[in-house]
Amino acid sequence: MPLLGGIRPPIAVLCVLLLALAGLTAKVLGPSEEAVAPEAVLSSQRYFAEDGAIALRASIDERVADLERTAAALNAGRPVRPGRVLSDLGRTYQKWTGTTVVDLASGDVLAARGETIPLGWLDRDVLVGERALTPRMVRLETGDVRLMTMAVLDWADRPQQLLIASSSLSVPAVNLGPFRSMSVVAEDGEVLATAGFEQAEALNSDQERKELAFLHRQMTRLADQAAVRTEEHPVRAKEPGSRGYPGVSGTLLGGAYNGRVATAGYASLASSDPEEKESVAAGLGLTVVALLPVVEQQPEDSDRRLFGLAAAGALLLVGLVAVAVLWSTVQRPLLRLFLESRRLARGDLRRPVSVPRRGEAHRIGLALERLRRRLNGEDEGVGTARRVWVGARGPLVATGVLLLLWCVPVGLLLNRTDGSVSVPTTMVNDQRERTDLIADRLRRALNEAQADLVSASRLIAAGDSGAAGRLLEDALVKHTRYEALYLVAADGSVTARAGGEPHAWSGGEDRPPVRVSGQGGKKPVIQASAPVPGGDGDTLVGEIRVEFLNSLLARPGLGEVRVVDSAGLTIAAGDGFRAFEQLPDASLKDLVRAAGVRVGAGPVENGLLLRDGDGVTVAAAAPFSGGGVTADIGWTVVSRQDAAGFQITAYEREDRSVLAGMLGLAAAILCLGWIHLVVVRPLRALARSAEKLADGDLRTVLYPRYHDEVGAVVRSLELLRQQAQAHRHDQARRPSDAPSGAGAGGR
């Protein structure tokens, strides 16, 4: 018989699967590996570093875009004195530490503002070639590192001038929360900028100063490790099929001090952003490292090991009983029928058939005994087969019930969590601080959108009246954050447009430059505006795509993220929404109201751990704060996620229990279904055929369909059918041959 045929292989596979599942149960339901920090906390640090890297990349790219946009606006107009260029640049943007205009022909400094910019790094490679005018990192005499951004001022009949703006590679201006520090690291592992240590420097006790020195050492060591790891290609650094942050990111563990261990997340500046543009900052080789000391996790109680062993032992006991049921009620009777049918087919008709007690095997055994008696010339009075309601399916059902007695309690009742699950305080703090970072990023994006319009309005004012349409088309192609751009006259008429259909716009000095309308429609209409200089009341209006805002909100590890206005109505969401819908939970509404309360200089972010029945939710709200035209827009970023998604020990145990129950159920379905298909169903068909044969149906030929025990019994029955048919022919010939034999004897 083939190796995979018959009753033995599925029972053997069931034994192997149950043994493997018992070993897995003892491991996964026992004590988990003794990690010094919860996996949820480590993942949160990686997310925080990724958010910081996204914010830093956006900040650097904005500086480059601002300078290029300013140079383009100046080149399109009349020549301007260098001092006036720097003055206007300083009034428009306050993001540069120093600015300088250099005459490219003579190399003379024509004007300078702010800190002195050294020019020793300027060479031919900076001005020509493939990497011409790309930003450079330059070290000042003080040891600080500055990012130099350049643009060329080119007017007719004048020598070309080089506009240089220096800015510090500072950590994004976000709330790091208590005890966290963040650094910007160069390719060689040098820490270029840090934030978060300043508050700790005010400490007075020796113990606190020692801990601060320990954190400084850990940041230096982990920064070196992060710089090495981010040199790997982003595709090779990820598991196959994984998605998420487009750059290289991960977590690091440092040393421990005074019961707390240093955990860090790192992320390289990725080259993609929601606008799908090339990123200048991504080519600088910078890495963001976020460091947070957390309380060292205590090892679990040794009773967990006994708990896992008890669950594994219970599975072995249930599996042993289940296998014994299958062996005694299915395998053993079938093998007995196989041996008995083969004996009869070979002509051994003297010994009676050993008939099994129940089921289809009992019916087949009675049929074999009747055939034996018929072939042996004996009386067939062996009784009738018992009426079978369940037959061989009964043992399968009983075995399935036995395995369910283990799978259901383990999968549905064991290690269940409720609303009392302990969630690390770090997770609540990180939810709040990351929400604040998203709010700051969104605010900066809206400010940048309005700055784009200001720059475009200057180009429109400097050009002729017929060029406005072309300028709007070019601006729409360069800035994909806009859905439509149009020029509105003082009387409200649209004089030039690009993109989608314009919505109504009403000007006025008291109206904010960024506003929301379209309430009652399918999606909000977010409009930003900038007056055209000298345009007699003309206003350039840009409608910002809601999809662009949604892309800024979609960050892993934050759950559901929304932007709501001052009335609590939804403007944008990271996972889809219905325009202007209310927040789904009353607690979130209260959280938004609490975040909007002015404390000190303004509203502050808030975070809560909400317990409702058996569910635990972490929520946070961060109102817009800071500078720019959107500082007083009244928007708030709200985030909420179920704590069950955290990699916390309690939830991991629950998931492991569910997994163990599902694996046990899958093993039972696989093996019992296998037995039903290859044994029970053919055995029921064989019982009907055997009874027909015993009742005298000698014409129906029996064909074996399986090369296993059932097929062997079918082949033996076919041989017995042929023998019975031959025996009937012999009995039919004997009466006709008897008279001729008698007459011959008389002569």
Q: Is the pLDDT of residue 190 over 50?
A: yes
pLDDT in tens, 572-595: 888 777 788 888 888 888 888 877
Indicate the pLDDT class of residue 430, thresholds 50, 70 and 90.
confident
CA dihedral 709→711→712→718, nearest 10 degrees, is: 150
More confident residue, 410 or 746: 410
For position 100, what pLDDT does the model report? 92
Q: How much is the mean pLDDT over the chain?
A: 82
For position 34, what pLDDT does the model report? 55
Could you tell me the two tokens for 86? Answer: 């720097």
Q: Is the pLDDT of residue 634 over 60?
A: yes
Number of H helices and E strands in the chain, helices first, is 16, 22
Q: Is the pLDDT of residue 1 over 50?
A: no
Q: Is the pLDDT of residue 466 over 70?
A: no
Rounded CA separation 27/660 (Å): 11
Is 435:620 a contact under the CB 8 Å cutoff? yes
User: What is Dmax (Cα atoms) for the chain?
Assistant: 154
For 4-11, what is the mean pLDDT?
78
Q: Which of 82-96, 244-258, 455-469, 536-550 has the lowest mean pLDDT?
A: 455-469
Q: Is the pLDDT of residue 696 over 80?
A: yes
For 291-316, what is the mean pLDDT?
78
For position 383, what pLDDT does the model report? 53
Q: Which of 131-140, 169-178, 317-326, 513-522 has the lowest mean pLDDT?
A: 169-178
More confident residue, 650 or 366: 366
* Most confidently modeled range among 42-56, 495-509, 726-740: 42-56
For 175-198, what is the mean pLDDT?
82
CA distances (Å), origin 193, targets 95, 109, 181, 361: 16, 29, 11, 82
For position 198, what pLDDT does the model report? 59
For position 741, what pLDDT does the model report? 46
Q: Is the pLDDT of residue 16 over 90?
A: yes
**Residue the block writes with tokens 């679990």:** 300
Report H helices in 121-192: 124-127
Q: Is the pLDDT of residue 616 over 50?
A: yes
For position 399, what pLDDT does the model report? 92
Q: What percentage of the chain reaches a pLDDT higher than 70?
A: 87
* Most confidently modeled range among 219-223, 267-271, 556-560: 219-223
For 220-229, what is the mean pLDDT?
90
For position 236, what pLDDT does the model report? 66
Show the CA angle centred on residue 417, arms to residues 415 and 418, nearest 5°: 150
Show the CA angle centred on residue 463, arms to residues 461 and 469, nearest 5°: 95
Q: Is the pLDDT of residue 738 over 70?
A: no
End-to-end CA distance of the chain: 60
For 362-373, what is the mean pLDDT?
87
For 247-253, what is the mean pLDDT?
87
DSSP string, 654-676: HHHHHHHHHHHHHHHHHHHHHHI
pLDDT in tens, 371-399: 888 888 776 665 555 554 467 788 889 99
For 164-191, what is the mean pLDDT?
83
For position 382, what pLDDT does the model report? 55
Q: Which of 112-126, 229-243, 588-602 has the lowest mean pLDDT?
A: 229-243
Q: Which of 79-83, 239-243, 282-286 has the lowest mean pLDDT?
A: 239-243
Is 34:253 a contact under the CB 8 Å cutoff? no
For position 742, what pLDDT does the model report? 43
Is 354:372 a contact under the CB 8 Å cutoff? no
Q: What percentage of the chain reaches a pLDDT higher than 90?
A: 10
Indicate the pLDDT class of residue 518, thresholds 50, 70 and 90.
confident
For position 384, what pLDDT does the model report? 53
For position 668, what pLDDT does the model report? 92
pLDDT in tens, 96-122: 888 999 988 888 889 998 888 888 888
For position 667, what pLDDT does the model report? 93
For 717-738, what is the mean pLDDT?
75
Q: Is the pLDDT of residue 199 over 60?
A: no
For position 581, what pLDDT does the model report? 86
Indicate the pLDDT class of residue 258, thresholds 50, 70 and 90.
confident
Q: Which neighbouring-strand residues pair with 618?
A: 609, 641
For 233-237, what is the mean pLDDT?
67
Q: Is the pLDDT of residue 3 over 60?
A: no
Q: Is the pLDDT of residue 732 over 60?
A: yes
Is 393:676 a contact under the CB 8 Å cutoff? yes
Rounded CA separation 392/399 (Å): 12
Q: Is the pLDDT of residue 291 over 70?
A: yes
For 659-670, what is the mean pLDDT?
92
pTM confidence score: 0.75
DSSP string, 361-420: HHHHHHHHHHHHHHHHT-------PPP-SSTTHHHHHHHHHHHHHHHHIIIIITT---TT
For position 18, what pLDDT does the model report? 92
More confident residue, 646 or 404: 404
Give 703's DSSP letter.
Answer: -
Show the CA angle centred on residue 385, arms to residues 381 and 391, nearest 5°: 160
CA distances (Å), origin 511, targets 149, 546, 559, 565, 636: 35, 21, 35, 17, 20
For position 744, what pLDDT does the model report? 42
Q: Is the pLDDT of residue 4 over 70?
A: no
Could you tell me the two tokens for 502? Answer: 């314009």
